[in-house]
Amino acid sequence: MTTERSEPAQNADERTMLEGWLDYHRQTLAWKCEGLSDEQLRTAPLPPSELSLLGLVRHMAEVERGWFRAVLTGEDAAPIYFSDEDPDGEFHLTEADTWAEAYAAWQGEIEAARRNAAGLGLDDLSKGRGRRSGEPFNLRWIYTHMIEEYARHNGHADLVREQIDGATGD
């Protein structure tokens, strides 16, 4: 698999630009994982951190699920990998955890995110509420937050990937 990344047009409308940058950062995380074995993807090369590329993909599946299902639509979307007993469960990997499973879960959440956002305007408010504020979010805020979330974690992915096999890149 070769991950294709493309930036949105420089003169795109706001929605196209937000969705384009979100997709770009989704593609960047996939690209950072490309060509590695399950063992390498499970590797947490920066002790004492448990951060791994597979853990980041699982984390982003949870983040997509949380924002586009639980918050945006108000769906009762149970966590995939974490629990009250293990709040960082997406990063607690075993040899049974695979790229195929994590990638499928992540892509499934991305598709659900696209479906749930498709019929809404950027100013439409979420059915779910913020934990701190108790207020709803508009779709624009969710898109912007997701771009920030991916950008931050893609920086982590850069460092992890470089430690695994020396690969670098933007």
What is the pTM for the complete model shown? 0.95
> 66-79, pLDDT tens digit by residue?
999 999 999 999 99
Q: How far apart are CA 33 and CA 142, in angstroms?
A: 25
Q: Within 13 Å, how many C-alpha atoms sit on residue 3's CB side?
A: 14
> 117-168, pLDDT tens digit by residue?
999 999 999 999 988 999 999 999 999 999 999 999 999 999 999 999 999 8
Q: How far apart are CA 103 and CA 98, in angstroms?
A: 8
The CA–CA distances, whole Å, from 47 to 31, 40, 62, 136, 160 equal 23, 15, 23, 38, 11
Contact (Cβ atoms closer than 8 angstroms) between residue 106 and residue 60: yes
Q: Could you tell me which residues come within 8 angstroms of residue 166 by beta carbon, excluding any fewer than 6 positions away?
A: none
> 51-100, pLDDT tens digit by residue?
999 999 999 999 999 999 999 999 999 999 999 999 999 999 999 999 99
32: which 2 tokens?
A: 């950072």
